[in-house]
Amino acid sequence: MSKKILTIDDSKMVRMIVTSTFQPFDCTIVGAADGAEGVTVALQEKPDLIFLDITMPVLNGIETLAKIRETPEIAAIPVVMLTAESDGERLGMADKLKVSGYIAKPFKGDQLIALTKKIIPLAPKPPADPKKP
Amino acid sequence: MVKCIKNSGYLKQNQCPLKGSNPFGTVLTKAFELIRAFIMQLVRSVAHSMTRDERSLCVPPSSTFAEHFQRGNLKTKAPLREFTGFFPPSGRSEGYAPSFFSLYTIPRALMAMSDTLLKKYQIAALPENVLRLGQLIQGAFATNAHEIAKIIKADPAISDRVMKIATRGRDIDMDIDSAVVRIGVDKITLVVMSELLLHAVKRTFATMLSIALEPTETINPYGDQMVGCIHFKGKATGRVFLRIPCKAANSFATRFLGKDLPAEPAELFPEIVGELLNIVGGNFKSNLVDAGLPCSLSVPKVETKTGFAVDLSGDEHHLSVPFTADAMGMFLDLIISPVTDSAAN
């Protein structure tokens, strides 16, 4: 069954890298450019996994994570922090809010795939149906 | 710290409880005195190796200070670390049980808390220079040039840069201690911070662009450049600039995005420089926080410029680090306001 991954990051480049990384897999990538938009998209799309940046406008990653955890419809969605900030303070906050993983930027696509596979099953993308236009 | 120890119940009485009430009293008193002297010596050596912040937090086990600390009433969020191994565990300090006192300290450069979490989330260990910066900012204002020199001597790159600044690149015979006195603690802090920044740039370029970065002495002037700027503000305040020539646009876009390039990859160049700086700034900010300088980071601002000049306020210090990447000359600029004694504490 196809999986849905939400990437919340104000950097268009990071959203593009995440999309490109998961292209070989049977999953859909949706994006949001800040924390507030991320919570809205998460409520609409109910993703199987969220990648979340910390330094963002409107709502930062930690505030967004707290919002996700206190919203019953999306509280149980696994969240992986994908951020350049990995100091003890940030790690401690994210850990308290029960993150499923923490990837410190700079990162390689392989790291995203390896961690994602530990959290949700990832199947290769099925071959395109030649009958479909 | 010695004051704290003297205040503990054990040392106040300063005599063996068995004296005069036990046939082996004299022998025991002698042994007791020897043990006491040994422990005092041990404590002094521990205290000597600690930074000023750590020393100020050494407390006897029954102290309300420790209780306050554990309840989180003190300013720092760092957990207490109990010095065990040298001393029996606390909790039996009443009377003359073997536990005479315990020492509690803030972990060096506030790293103990993150160590466990770094392992849990498989995040790379902190650079050694985070510890050095922590030692510098927590101890430098009350210590002498020799102690500062000892901290910076541990890293040849830092020593080298300090010497270059102190001698202004001239062939002058000077030792590190004299160089420290000549350039002062603000510039040394700037040098240590710039090494952390350079480390973050190296990692970011290697991981995101597969480019090995080489520090260089000088770079010939070049034309248009993409200049990214990010501000940090808090106990450490300053700005970081990353300057990359515009001719790197296509190469960087290709390296950053791999096969999924848009039709006009060069159009993404500002975004790429912004994200590189965002990563570098985030890493650097985390290093500052772990060294005991909490601060916040701005969103990067990127623009095309032909020249480069920065306005420095009276007390700001500026260090420009040229480097080459992908056979092109680039610059990293760090500008900081002095980290004051009160800021460090």
Q: How far apart are CA B202 and CA B179, in angstroms?
A: 27
Distance in Å, alpha carbon of A117 to nearest chain B alpha carbon: 15
Residue A108 to chain B, least CA–CA distance (Å): 7
User: Which residues does chain A have within 8 Å of residue B113's beta carbon, measured at their own beta carbons?
Assistant: 88, 92
Q: What's residue B38's pLDDT?
A: 76
In this predicted model, what pLDDT tens digit does every residue of A13-65 receive, in sequence order? Answer: 999 999 999 999 999 999 999 999 999 999 999 999 999 999 888 899 999 99
pLDDT in tens, B19-41: 445 566 778 778 877 887 777 66
Chain B hits for A108, CB-CB cut-off 8 Å, are 207
The B-side interface with A (CB below 8 A) comprises 77, 110-111, 113-114, 117-118, 120-121, 123-124, 203-204, 206-208, 256-260, 268, 271-272, 274-275, 278-283, 285-287, 289-290, 294, 297, 299
What residues of A are in contact with residue B79 (Cβ under 8 Å)?
none
Tell me if A91 and B121 make a contact (CB, 8 A cut-off): yes
What is the predicted pLDDT for the residue at A99? Answer: 96
Decide which of A129 and B45 is more confident: A129
Give dist(CA A102, CA A44) in Å, integer: 24
Please give the pLDDT value at position B112: 52
- Asked if B118's CB is within 8 angstroms of A91's CB, the reply is yes
| Distance to chain B for A10, nearest Cα, Å | 10
- For residue B154, the model assigns a pLDDT of 84
pLDDT score for A113: 96
**pLDDT tens for each residue of B40-54:** 666 655 544 544 344
Q: Measured between CB atoms, does A2 come within 8 Å of chain B?
A: no
Looking up tokens 């900012």 gives B137
Identify from B205, B278, B296 which residue to disrupt to test chain A contact, counting A C-beta atoms within 10 A and taking the largest count: B278
- Round the average pLDDT of chain A to a whole number and report it: 93
Residue of chain B with shortest Cα separation from A101:
B121
Q: Do A104 and B124 touch (CB under 8 A)?
A: yes
pLDDT at residue A127 greater than cutoff 50: yes
CB within 8 A of B309, min separation 6: which ones? Answer: none
- Candidate from A16, A84, A106 with C-beta closest to B260: A16
CB contact under 8 A, A106 and B279: yes
**What is the DSSP secondary-structure string of B209-277?**
H---EEE-S-----S-EEEEEEEEEESS-EEEEEEEEGGGHHHHHHHHHTT---S-GGGGHHHHHHHHH
A7 backbone dihedrals φ, ψ, rounded to 5°? -115, 120
Return the pLDDT at B92: 34
Nearest-neighbour CA in chain B from A98: distance (Å): 12
The domains located in chain A, with CATH, are: 3-119 (3.40.50.2300)
pLDDT at position B281 is: 95
Q: Within an 8 Å CB–CB cutoff, is residue A10 touching chain B? A: yes
Which structural domains are found in chain B, ordered by start? Answer: 2-106 (no CATH), 128-344 (3.40.1550.10)
The distance of A17 to chain B (nearest Cα, Å) reads: 7
Alpha helices (H) along chain B: 2-7, 9-13, 25-48, 52-56, 64-70, 112-120, 128-139, 145-153, 156-167, 176-209, 249-257, 269-290, 341-344
Optimal mutation site among B118, B121, B293, B299, interface A, most CBs of chain A within 10 A: B121
pLDDT at A130 over 50: yes
B271 contacts A86? CB cut-off 8 A: no
Residues of chain B where predicted confidence (pLDDT) is lower than 50:
1-20, 47-48, 50-111, 344-345
Q: Mutate one of A55, A59, A99, A103 to test the B interface: name it (highest B CB count within 10 A).
A: A55
Q: Are strands B317-325 and B238-245 parallel, antiparallel or unpaired?
A: unpaired
